[in-house]
A and B are shown apart, each in its own frame.
Chain A
Amino acid sequence: MPFSGKEEIEHISGLARIKLTSEEKSHYANELSSIIDFIGRLQEVDTSGVEPLYQVTGKENVMREDENPKILENLERDIILKQFPERKGDFNKVKEILIRKD
């Protein structure tokens, strides 16, 4: 599978939400191209009839009672609020997510 370089990098950096300069784009295009060649070696391996191994625990659907797990019982609320980049009272202020077009 060929890696087409700068255009593909543009697409990926958009998906990853990382803005790259033009210089960085060519830099990562080169680096990723050699890494992608390297991982391409996996195509040599005969995996017919082999199931993918997602994780090694063998556990499936770990369940718990439908109750408040109290994961946050010791959480320091103030520490969390103070770290909002923009705060209004106890709310985290973010840029608008829907833009009206009229």
Chain B
Amino acid sequence: MEVKDLTIEKVSNGLKMGEFSVEELQKATTAYAKSLNDLNAFISYFEPNNSLNRGNLFGVPIAIKDNILINGTVATAGSKILKNYISPYDATVIGKLKEAGAWFMGKTNLDEFAMGSSTENSAFGPTRHPLDRERVPGGSSGGSAVAVASGSAVCALGSDTGGSIRQPASFCGVVGLKPTYGRVSRHGLMAMASSFDQIGPITKNVKDSAILLSAISGKDRFDSTTADKEPEDFTKYLTGDIKGLKIGIPREFFGEGLDPLVADVIRKAIEKIQGLGAEVEEITLPHTEYAVPTYYVLVPSEVSANLARYDGIRFGYSEKEDSLLEVYNNSRADGFGHEVIRRIMLGTYTLSAGYFDAYYVKAMKVRNLIKRDYDQVFKKFDAVLGPTTPTTAFKLGEKSEDPLSMYLADIYTISANLAGLPAISIPCGNVDGLPVGLQITGKMFDEGDILNIAYAYEQNSK
């Protein structure tokens, strides 16, 4: 057994054929992950478990982003304020994976409360890129992407609010899927921006992405924003036949800021997809340039409300002070890191008296225009293709002093969250040895088509 090459299928077959036991697999996986400790992908490791359910993910080692709750275990969200926090229940996705027999191998590093694009904002130190230790893996699900890219985990769960699954998947050369908003329950995912957050899979190939999405999706009575959709088997869409599918290429995704070498790789990938019989045409998404500013009004606003719960009163880091107000003020000041404080402050400002209409309501109107751009395109097209990120993985420290340049790392991924659409990033080549990701965005609840386009590309690029 070569741990780093394992996929869900290989694990299932290996166990079935008796090539290795669950115990051997768990030991080997943990040993391999620990041998790569310098990557700092994991915040914690779990013990072997020999009482797994015999479901369709029986024995599969899965890494879980540390903002998703697993009953009775520590969940830090990459924050000092939750350093010793123990989850008192399972997230819905965790319950589903337990049912399916998966083994949680460990919790992965992230930008504090999922705020960031480099995994440098963790209270537990930065995660490093598996191909170049001086570079970032992307973020915020950097630990999950590195766990999969380095071969430590067979697959992983991340969360995506503005690109936090797709951007690190792109940087690390793995497959990252953000499902349609409402496809996967958010119950037990620490809330960052509730109208944007989605949990999704990070995997080595497209088929595993479809398998994992099938396992975690579905309506949940604990998350009233989940859609009334029956669970389905997404692998049934993976035919590899994309003849006649209509694909739009937004000209705004190839403008200023895009590394020309990345653009070349993306254009070649699009030509390949065209060669497989898809009809490709240039389109326009005219409000694209306003996606990032819209996001940085709405998300900090939701953040400032969602993170009010970390107040040093019921759980988490708490400073002993003489008055209630001082407990709040000092526990939050010392418990939160820089980026989190910045966003809470920004959101408090945009929601405060006198600014609410000018910023928050205005941004929600622009959000509507961005969604309408996509609605218009999807009347005629089945999917939208482009780069996942404007550059390949950047250097540690390169953007950490300049919040705006960091925010622009998500320029192509944010729109899908604003409009609630499913989007996947798949590896499609390299620039100077660093992976480039192709992003495929689909209609709401049309994960089937984007997974199939991704699959067709993957099968024909080997």
A interface list, Cβ under 8 A from B: 1, 3, 8-9, 11-13, 15-20, 28, 31-32, 34-36, 38-43, 45, 47, 50-57, 59, 62, 64, 69, 71, 74-77, 79-80, 82-86, 92, 94-97
Are B358 and A47 within 8 A (Cβ)?
A: no
- For residue B96, give the distance in angstroms from its CB to the closest CB of chain A: 14
Are B358 and A1 within 8 A (Cβ)?
A: yes
- The total of interchain contacts (Cβ-Cβ below 8 angstroms) comes to 170
Are A56 and B195 within 8 A (Cβ)?
A: yes
**Separation of A3 and B350 alpha carbons in the complex (Å):** 11
- For residue A10, give the distance in angstroms from its CB to the closest CB of chain B: 11
**Separation of A83 and B310 alpha carbons in the complex (Å):** 13
B interface list, Cβ under 8 A from A: 71-72, 85-90, 181-182, 195, 221-222, 224-225, 227, 287, 290, 293-294, 296-297, 304, 308, 311-316, 318, 321-330, 332-333, 336, 341-342, 344-346, 348-350, 352, 355, 358-359, 361-369, 371, 403-404, 419-420, 444
**Separation of A71 and B220 alpha carbons in the complex (Å):** 11
Per a CB cutoff under 8 Å, which of A38, A51, A71, A92 touches B314?
A: A92
- For residue A2, give the distance in angstroms from its CB to the closest CB of chain B: 12
Are A17 and B227 within 8 A (Cβ)?
A: no
Tell me which of A13, A16, A80 has the highest count of chain B C-beta atoms within 10 A of its own C-beta: A16
Chain A residue numbers with a CB within 8 Å of B86 are 79, 82-83
**Separation of A43 and B293 alpha carbons in the complex (Å):** 11
Are B365 and A52 within 8 A (Cβ)?
A: yes
A16-B304, A45-B290, A82-B86 are known; give 19 further A-B pairs, CB within 8 A.
A13-B345, A16-B345, A17-B325, A18-B329, A18-B341, A19-B329, A19-B333, A28-B341, A32-B342, A32-B349, A35-B403, A41-B290, A47-B369, A50-B365, A52-B364, A56-B420, A57-B227, A62-B224, A85-B318
Are A38 and B318 within 8 A (Cβ)?
A: no
Q: What are 27 sample pairs from A and B whose C-beta atoms fall under 8 A apart?
A: A8-B349, A13-B345, A15-B352, A16-B304, A16-B348, A17-B311, A32-B349, A35-B296, A35-B346, A39-B293, A39-B297, A42-B294, A45-B366, A55-B420, A56-B195, A57-B182, A64-B221, A74-B89, A74-B90, A76-B71, A76-B88, A80-B315, A82-B86, A83-B315, A85-B314, A85-B316, A97-B324
